């Protein structure tokens, strides 16, 4: 098991500071969201050199993007940014790239047109990932009416058809987590967090339900990446030192279930 944290918890910091946080909290590495402002503003690849000795995973851009939007221009831009992330992963030897399936633009159940768009997105991105030698990992979506790939069977069908791995987000599917266990052979990354009243990613260590899922995954033999995914807006106004402290606490909580 390799323990990572999502760079979005250190949204306002430089990559050097993220590396420092990783060392201080005794993590193996991080899942880097390429939209992190310090990097995204100029996309200078040298800014990622500080990650060279860390386990690195990438998360494709999703903020303001949607690969199945009714707006074709937005679909094309979402695909372009995913291909960019795959290429970046190849250059930086990242473990994998996590992607989202997207959502119907209207707050209604997805329809055939949305699924056609998803097929197009996954067909192109999966082929490019194989060409680049990069593992592409599809994340289960939150349980919202217009999200695609929120149900186990749906994500299973797409993952099998395009030979994708799965990033299992516990918080997104906490109410039906056990229904995903049959897909554990495809799990390559697990996002760990609890949910607050506003559905933000907060400390898993405060949730018996998340603890139960971690225990289940350990007993089922999961031994891949585990990523602590936190949203500081759900925790409060905290400085760098406090973030590192919280990260260390979450890491210690998770390690109890995955002792070597």
pTM over 0.75: yes
Tell whether the torsion through CA atoms of 126, 156, 28 and 16 is positive or negative: positive
pLDDT at 20: 98
- Six-digit token string for 237: 């106004």
Q: Name the class of domain 2-255.
A: alpha beta
Task: Tell me the C-alpha distance between 243 and 17, whole Å.
Answer: 12
Cα 230 to Cα 31, 89, 121, 167, 235: the distances in Å are 12, 22, 28, 16, 9
- List per-residue pLDDT tens for the chain, 260 residues long: 999 999 999 999 999 999 999 999 999 999 999 999 999 999 999 999 999 999 999 999 999 999 999 999 999 999 999 999 999 999 999 999 999 999 999 999 999 999 999 999 999 999 999 999 999 999 999 999 999 999 999 999 999 999 999 999 999 999 999 999 999 999 999 999 998 877 888 899 999 999 999 999 999 999 999 999 999 888 988 999 999 999 999 999 999 999 75
pLDDT at 237: 86
Task: Tell me the C-alpha distance between 193 and 243, whole Å.
Answer: 15
């Amino acid at each position: 098991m390799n323990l990572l944290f999502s760079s979005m918890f250190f949204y306002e910091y430089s990559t050097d500071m993220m590396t420092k946080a990783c060392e201080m909290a005794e993590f193996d590495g991080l899942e880097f969201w390429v939209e992190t402002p310090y990097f995204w503003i100029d996309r200078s690849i040298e800014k990622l050199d500080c990650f060279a000795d860390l386990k690195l995973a990438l998360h494709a851009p999703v903020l303001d993007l949607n690969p199945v939007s009714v707006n074709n221009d937005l679909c094309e831009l979402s695909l372009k940014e995913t291909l960019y992330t795959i290429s970046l992963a190849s250059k930086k030897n990242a473990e994998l790239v996590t992607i989202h399936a997207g959502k119907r633009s209207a707050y209604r159940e997805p329809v055939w047109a949305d699924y056609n768009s998803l097929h197009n997105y996954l067909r192109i991105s999966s082929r490019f990932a194989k060409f680049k030698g990069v593992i592409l990992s599809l994340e289960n979506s939150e349980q919202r009416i217009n999200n695609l790939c929120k149900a186990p069977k749906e994500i299973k069908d797409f993952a099998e058809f395009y030979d994708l791995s799965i990033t299992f987000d516990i918080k997104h599917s906490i109410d039906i987590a056990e229904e995903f266990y049959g897909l554990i052979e495809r799990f390559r990354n697990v996002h760990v967090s609890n949910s607050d009243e506003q559905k933000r990613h907060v400390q898993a260590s405060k949730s018996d339900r998340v603890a139960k899922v971690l225990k289940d995954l350990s007993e089922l033999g999961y031994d891949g990446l585990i990523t602590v995914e936190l949203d500081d807006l759900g925790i409060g106004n905290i400085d760098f030192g406090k973030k590192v402290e919280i990260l260390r606490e979450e890491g210690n909580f998770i390690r109890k279930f995955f002792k070597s």
